[in-house]
């Protein structure tokens, strides 16, 4: 497994060792000791899966008071996965990183607590799986608009229509958001 830092402090890309032959492939998609190289004291308590069609954009989601770290991978298809630093004390506050995760490249992204997360489906469909460090909490859930000009995410949408949930279409802006210390 290769661990790579990104431009944002505490956000990492994991490239697993993949062993393939004419029958298919094998890889470890999670190993606690990988994670302990960058973080200790965080436990994963919930695993989620999402299936979405091309052009679906989910996010930017985060939780106040119960922040979730997320370890994300694409099981089928391709997504543009984004993390936005919401920690006011961070030199990277309001900055973002985008990484292509796919069933072909098998990359995984660690988005730590204190960040918003979102993704855009680039293939016909995509199934993603992610581990979370805290439970989902509707009362603490927050969203920031996917196209907030103060963040300036360069989503690879081209001329395609973006498909949003009602909640994401009505999300507010970073300047008005609840953020972290």
Q: What confidence score (pLDDT) does residue 161 get? A: 86
What residues are labeled active site?
61, 130
Please check the confidence at residue 160 and state whether its pLDDT lies above 80: no
Measured CA distances, 19 to 28, 32, 74, 81, 137 (Å):
10, 20, 18, 25, 38
| Average pLDDT rounded to a whole number, residues 162-170 | 96
Percent of the chain with pLDDT over 70: 100
Mean pLDDT to the nearest integer, 71-88: 97
Shortest CA distance to 177 belongs to which of 60, 53, 19, 75? Answer: 60
Q: Which domains does the chain have, with CATH numbers?
A: 2-176 (2.60.120.10)
Which H helix or E strand runs over 75?
A: strand 70-76
Say whether pLDDT at 6 is over 90: yes
Specify whether the CB–CB gap between 11 and 97 falls below 8 A: yes
How far, in Å, CA of 155 to CA of 147, rounded? 8
* Average pLDDT of the segment spanning 149-162: 92
- Single pTM value for the model: 0.94
């Amino acid at each position: 497994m290769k661990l790579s830092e990104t431009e944002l402090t505490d956000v990492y890309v994991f490239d697993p060792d993949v062993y393939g032959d004419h029958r298919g492939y094998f890889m470890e998609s999670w190993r606690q000791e990988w994670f302990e190289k960058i973080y200790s004291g965080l436990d994963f308590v919930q695993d989620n899966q999402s299936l979405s069609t091309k052009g679906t954009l989910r996010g930017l989601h985060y939780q106040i008071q119960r922040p979730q770290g997320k370890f994300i991978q694409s099981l089928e298809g391709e997504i543009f996965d984004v993390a936005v630093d919401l920690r006011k004390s961070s030199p990277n506050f309001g900055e973002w990183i985008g990484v292509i995760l796919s069933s072909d490249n098998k990359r995984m992204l660690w988005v730590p607590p204190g960040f918003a997360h979102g993704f855009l489906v680039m293939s016909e469909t995509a199934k993603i799986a992610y581990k979370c460090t805290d439970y989902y909490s509707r009362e603490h859930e927050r969203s920031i608009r996917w196209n907030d000009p103060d963040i300036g995410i360069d989503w690879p949408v081209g001329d395609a229509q973006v498909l949003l949930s009602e909640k994401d279409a009505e999300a507010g802006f970073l300047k008005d958001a609840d953020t972290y210390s």
